[in-house]
């Protein structure tokens, strides 16, 4: 039987701050792993995706504050690293 929208427990689908941090951290670690495997520094990757400093790459990989990769960042990073975006989520 198909669930109706009214039957969905909205609090059950909320992500806690900790779950959200973990999700972004996992993606950043995958980016870091693949970047290192390809032999690129944070600065090289930053330049190749259009940034003049390592603040985004370093910050996201280290999990600083609210520095996170957006979908646009991940798309550009995937092109530079020659992988599909889905590899960041595996």
Entry pTM:
0.83
Q: Is 46 helix (H, G, I), strand (E, B) or coil?
A: helix
Average pLDDT score over residue span 66-74: 95
Per residue in 16-58, pLDDT tens? 889 999 999 999 999 999 999 999 999 999 999 999 999 999 9
**What burial class does residue 37 get, using C-beta atoms within 10 Å of its C-beta: 0-12 exposed, 13-18 middle, 19+ buried?**
exposed
**HSE-up of residue 64 (Cα within 13 Å, Cβ side):** 10
Task: Decide if pLDDT at 4 tops 80.
Answer: no
Q: Which residue has the tokens 């990073």?
A: 77
- Looking at domain 17-89, what is its CATH homologous superfamily? lambda repressor-like DNA-binding domains (1.10.260.40)
Per-position DSSP letters for 57-89, written without gaps between them: HHHHHHT-TT----HHHHHHHHHHHTS-GGGGG
């Amino acid at each position: 039987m198909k669930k109706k929208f009214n039957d969905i427990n909205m609090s059950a689908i909320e992500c806690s701050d900790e779950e959200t941090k973990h999700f972004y951290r996992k993606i950043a670690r995958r980016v870091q792993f693949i970047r290192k495997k390809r032999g690129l520094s944070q600065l090289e990757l930053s330049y190749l995706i259009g940034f003049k400093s390592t603040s985004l790459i370093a910050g996201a990989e280290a999990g600083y504050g609210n520095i996170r990769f957006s979908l646009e960042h991940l798309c550009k990073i995937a092109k530079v690293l020659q992988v599909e975006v889905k590899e960041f989520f595996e």
